[in-house]
Amino acid sequence: MVNVGILGATGMVGQRFIELLGDHPDFEITALTASMRSAGKKYEDAVTWYLDSKIPEVARDITVVDTDPGEVKDVDIVFSALPANIAAVVEPQFAEAGMIVASNASAMRMEPDVPLVIPEVNPEHLELVEMQQKNRGWDGFIVTNPNCSTIALTMTLKPLYDNYDLQRVYVSTMQAVSGAGYDGVPSMAIVDNLVPFIGEEEEKMETETLQLLGDLEEGNLNPASFGVSASCHRVAVLDGHTEAVFIQMEEDFQVEDVEETFREFKGLPQKLDLFSAPAAPIIVREEDNRPQPRMDRNAERGMAVSVGRVRKDEVFAKCLKYVLVGHNTIRGAAGASILNAELITEIM
Ligand code: NAP
């Protein structure tokens, strides 16, 4: 077994890590960290547990410690669910102390020597780890996963990018409240309402997507060169981000071929049969009224992206439209980091 720790274990994403790792066959939770507010308490006393499941036995009695590498003993991998400003300071400290950091936070995502990885999309970007360790003199290293809306979008763009010429991608999101963290969106702001702004989300979707689909040449990443424009909105849904995607293609296409491209898509996690890998990363729904967050967010234990309403635009020529749903705290956060760690332990 590999000993793992969770940084920011009491938060929304931290709880998903604990839920998903509670019965993991290869990873054993041995350390949990949070802020000074929680440090020193047993996990079950420190956390306001919000998930439907029970707190896994393995985590209940662990004493939460301060988020400091000196407090985390005999751990090989730490999963980071920290706010970005805290992650920017402490994640490098954990890597310097020799641990592998699989991070959800945005702090290190755009560093040129830190891989930003979706295992089905760009596992080859893990090559950057060697450069990172050399540049920084660390025994450990940091690997990041993208932001929650970007993961779902890019998983669907990858097979299209490999098979078609994409000119421009427009995406409009309807994002769940859990994406903002436990104390993120006040109920008075969101019930009977939506909020048409999520700070820095559009910029993340527009840059991370192109980085993920970019080519690595001799340690330099050349981002993909089509345009991405995003408009991001918070809606009164608990879990599961929905996105309406519009793609201007270079050439005409058949809807049936696009659907087949989605269905056939498989990546390295499927080939390696990694524990958290969905058998089908993209599920195509035929019904006019799917995908929906309540019905589709848990597809393949929350690790698949569901796509529906695949169609040609009736107004603009060579324009493809579809709707997708992905689970933001599973595929979009904790599950994504765990799959990164499974890939790392399998191939590195
Ligand atoms: P959250 O619910 O606010 O949880 C934050 C966690 O960080 C808590 O465990 C908190 O501990 C801890 N923390 C806060 N201040 C700290 C400090 N000064 N030192 C050490 N620990 C501290 O946030 P979240 O939604 O889980 O998000 C966590 C990270 O994942 C963020 O970077 C976020 O952008 C990213 N992310 C979130 C999602 C999503 O869908 N929610 C998706 C992708 C990525 P206490 O309980 O002790 O305060």
What is the dihedral sign for C-alpha 284, 285, 288, 289? negative
pLDDT at 273: 98
Indicate which residue of 148, 232, 319, 327 is catalytic: 148
Q: Name the percent of the chain in helix, strand, coil, to the closest 5.
A: 35, 25, 40
Q: Long-range contacts for 289-296 (Cβ within 8 Å, ≥24 apart)?
A: 291/242, 291/323, 291/324, 291/325, 292/242, 292/325, 293/176, 293/237, 293/239, 293/240, 293/241, 293/242, 293/325, 294/237, 294/240, 296/240, 296/325
The stretches in the chain having pLDDT less than 70 are none
Distance CA 232, CA 148 (A): 12
Are residues 165 and 287 located together in one domain of the fold?
Answer: yes
pLDDT at 20: 98
Are residues 169 and 270 located together in one domain of the fold?
Answer: yes
Indicate which residue of 24, 241, 319, 327 is catalytic: 241
CA-based R_g, the chain, Å: 20
* Residue 16 CA to ligand 1 centre (angstroms): 11
pLDDT at 142: 98
- H or E element: which one contains 5? strand 2-7
Are residues 178 and 320 located together in one domain of the fold?
Answer: yes
Are residues 64 and 188 located together in one domain of the fold?
Answer: no
* Residue 214 CA to ligand 1 centre (angstroms): 29
Are residues 197 and 250 located together in one domain of the fold?
Answer: yes
Active site residue 241: yes
Are residues 82 and 139 located together in one domain of the fold?
Answer: yes
pLDDT at 132: 98
Calculate the CA 195 to chain-centre distance.
22
Distance CA 103, CA 287 (A): 36
pLDDT digits (tens, 9 = 90+) for 50-78: 999 999 999 999 999 999 999 999 999 99
Which ligand 1 atom is the nearest neighbour of the CA of 106?
32
Asked if residue 233 lies in contact with residue 196, where contact means CB atoms within 8 angstroms, the answer is yes
Distance CA 308, CA 25 (A): 33
Are residues 175 and 311 located together in one domain of the fold?
Answer: yes
Helix (H, G, I), strand (E, B) or coil at 186: coil
Are residues 301 and 157 located together in one domain of the fold?
Answer: yes
Closest CA to 41 of 71, 9, 64, 7: 64
* Residue 231 CA to ligand 1 centre (angstroms): 24
Pocket test for ligand 1, best of 18, 20, 35 (most atoms within 8 A of CB): 35
Are residues 172 and 226 located together in one domain of the fold?
Answer: yes
pLDDT at 226: 98
* Residue 95 CA to ligand 1 centre (angstroms): 19
Residue nearest to atom 37 of ligand 1 (CA): 179
How much is the pTM? 0.98
Are residues 88 and 8 located together in one domain of the fold?
Answer: yes
Distance CA 127, CA 131 (A): 8
Which ligand 1 atom is the nearest neighbour of the CA of 13?
26
Which ligand 1 atom is the nearest neighbour of the CA of 329?
40
Overall domain count for the chain: 2
Pocket test for ligand 1, best of 82, 106, 153, 340 (most atoms within 8 A of CB): 82
Residue nearest to atom 11 of ligand 1 (CA): 34
Pocket of ligand 1 (CB under 6 A): 8-14, 34-35, 37-38, 67, 81-84, 86, 104-106, 147-148, 178-179, 181-182, 328-329, 332-333
pLDDT at 289: 98
What is the dihedral sign for C-alpha 20, 25, 27, 32? positive
Active site residue 148: yes
Q: What is the CATH number of the domain that holds 242?
A: 3.30.360.10
Phi then psi for 218, rounded to 5 degrees?
Answer: 50, 45
Q: What is the CATH number of the domain that holds 102?
A: 3.40.50.720
Are residues 28 and 103 located together in one domain of the fold?
Answer: yes
Distance CA 7, CA 81 (A): 6
Are residues 196 and 311 located together in one domain of the fold?
Answer: yes
**Domain membership of residue 249 as a residue range:** 148-327
pLDDT at 156: 99
